[in-house]
Amino acid sequence: MFNYLKQSFRRKIARRVTKEYPANIDRLDLGDAGKIDFARWDNPLAPPVELTASTVQFFKQFIKEGDLAIDIGANIGDTTVPMALCAGSSGLTLGFDPNPYVFKILQKNASLNPGRINLVPVPNAISADGEEFYFISSEASFANGGISPTKDSKHGKFVFPEKIKGVNLKNFLTQNYGQWLNRFSLIKVDTEGYDKEIIKSASDLLSQYKPVIIAESFGKATDEAKLELYDVIERLGYNIFYFEDFRIEAKVEKMTSRTDMTKWKNTINVYATPKK
């Protein structure tokens, strides 16, 4: 009972008071991927994350040693680190997250497990023209949130004081990591409903290099937005699959028509593979 009241009080404070929460380091056994250190965020409002051998095996279907993999909306790195384990120290994994508070935990995860991964955290949002944004949350501790061109946003009332810089993904990669593009094997996008806009902004890059695409179909999105996400990916020359979770044994279902996107009312994940 005491522990419940303590956690309840911590959550109440986190909703109302802006403060930084530290990283707690766990030692995890990921089976064939070995033992690694992983930083969790001590923010009481941060959703619990699970990192398992099954998650690594899921990404291993698409990422091999030496590849370039990109995670947009990386959060603390619970999918970014498994991606980086697949790409290995001879590959490169980029984790983008514009949330200044969660980014520090992502940085910590990038610093762990030297010699095992090559993970570079990037504090930028992705945009077509390199605009600047505010990062806004409904919680004072910034456990959630999103970018907005103005301080008036559906994301909430707590506004990070400094603007977040957006970057055009193709320009950013060409200027900084051009030598890696021929090894570009996977891009994951998880940006609370903005996935289709990010994919559209990077469509020429994706058309050229044809990485596997993982995207989120946001549950609160309109049916029209869900259909547009399907169309944006399909026009790039991809087959699209629903998958239940980031686990190798999770259910996978090929989508045969755009209306399949509206079968699920909750948020779902899809992955897309280039058509032969």
Is residue 1 scored above 70 in pLDDT? Answer: no
Confidence of residue 155 (pLDDT cuts 50, 70, 90): confident
What are the backbone dihedrals phi and psi of residue 154, each rounded to the nearest 5 degrees, phi first? -65, -15
Is residue 103 scored above 90 in pLDDT? Answer: yes
- Give the tokens for residue 232: 């944006």
Q: Which residues of 111-130 are buried (b: 16+ CB within 10 A; e: fewer)?
A: ebbeebbbbebbbbbbbeee
Q: Which domain holds residue 57?
A: 2-274
CA distance 109 to 103: 10
Is residue 117 scored above 80 in pLDDT? Answer: yes
* Averaged pLDDT for residues 165-170: 96
Number of domains forming the structure of the chain: 1
Each residue of 217-248: pLDDT tens digit?
988 889 999 999 999 999 999 999 999 999 99
Chain mean position to CA 253 = 22
pLDDT of residue 129: 87
pLDDT of residue 110: 98
Each residue of 24-76: pLDDT tens digit?
999 999 999 999 999 999 999 999 998 999 999 999 999 999 999 999 999 99
SS3 content of the chain, % helix, strand, coil (to 5): 35, 25, 40
HEC per residue, 112-179: CCCCCCCEEEECCEECCCCCEEEEEECCCCCCCCEEECCCCECCECEECCCCEEEECHHHHHHHHHHH
CA distance 81 to 118: 9
CATH number of the domain to which 112 belongs: 3.40.50.150
Characterize the bridge pairing of strands 184-189 and 212-217: parallel
Confidence of residue 2 (pLDDT cuts 50, 70, 90): low
CA distance 173 to 179: 9
